[in-house]
Amino acid sequence: MACADCTGHGVPGAFMTVIASNLLNQTVIDNKIYDPATILYEVDKLLNMTLKQDKERLGVQDGMDITLIRIDKHKNELIVTSAKRPVFFVSDNKLQEFKGSKTSIGGMREGEKKFEEFILRYKEDDMLYMFTDGFHDQFGGEKGKKYSTKRLKEKLFAIHKDSISEQKEKLEKEILKWKGDLEQVDDICIAGIRF
């Protein structure tokens, strides 16, 4: 499962999304690569070649931030890797944050990119959250500031025991209340998985 955020808005963002989706499919389905960190490394390499991104040329420097997980239901195990996106995992009423790598997929290459993997054991009722930056970067509140990752972490932990549909409803109310009359600045995606 993947949760990705491509650069650009409107038509450029849509093109980037189509290219990234095709490269993910090519890597997993056609090339039969199933290791999450290797998938990200391969997609990064293919995106650089597709968009002719290198230091010698001033081509398109677009890319994407992505969280990618592989679930092994027989071992109750998750393998998580991420390019610039944190992941929240709630188990035994404790929230763990996994930061992921500090590099995006695509863009200028500065040496070799590494995508770290985290292996998590899950139990029934544990929650995993993947998300783009749209929610926590939304301006609002009394002072017109960003919502913040810290505030999102606290909100998700506060509602993690609720049903998925209740969580969705509470998050929608929260962001509407936060932004008030301000415009939404980015697309928003939060994917929650209950095991």
User: Domain containing 75 — which CATH number?
Assistant: 3.60.40.10
Residue 152's domain comprises 2-194
Q: Give, to the nearest 10 degrees, the angle between helix 36-50 and helix 10-25.
A: 130
Q: Give, to the nearest 10 degrees, the angle between helix 149-159 and helix 164-179.
A: 140
Q: Which of 117, 85, 87 is nearest to 192 (CA)?
A: 87
Q: Which of 105, 180, 170, 168 is nearest to 138 (CA)?
A: 180
Q: Which of 134, 142, 154 is nearest to 180 (CA)?
A: 142
What's the mean pLDDT in 55-82? Answer: 84
The answer to whether residue 149 scores a pLDDT higher than 70 is yes
Q: For residue 65, count other CB atoms closer than 10 A to its CB.
A: 21
Q: For residue 159, count other CB atoms closer than 10 A to its CB.
A: 18
Global pTM reads 0.88
What's the mean pLDDT in 92-116? Answer: 85
d(CA 73, CA 69): 12
Q: For residue 91, count other CB atoms closer than 10 A to its CB.
A: 17
Using one digit for the tens of pLDDT, what is the confidence trace for 20-66? 999 999 999 999 999 999 999 999 989 888 877 665 555 556 789 99
Q: How many structural domains does the chain have?
A: 1
Average pLDDT value over all residues in the chain: 91
Residue 112 is predicted with a pLDDT of 77
Residue 109 is predicted with a pLDDT of 60
Residue 143 is predicted with a pLDDT of 94
What confidence tier does 111 reach under pLDDT thresholds 50, 70, 90? low
H and E: helices and strands count for the chain: 4, 11
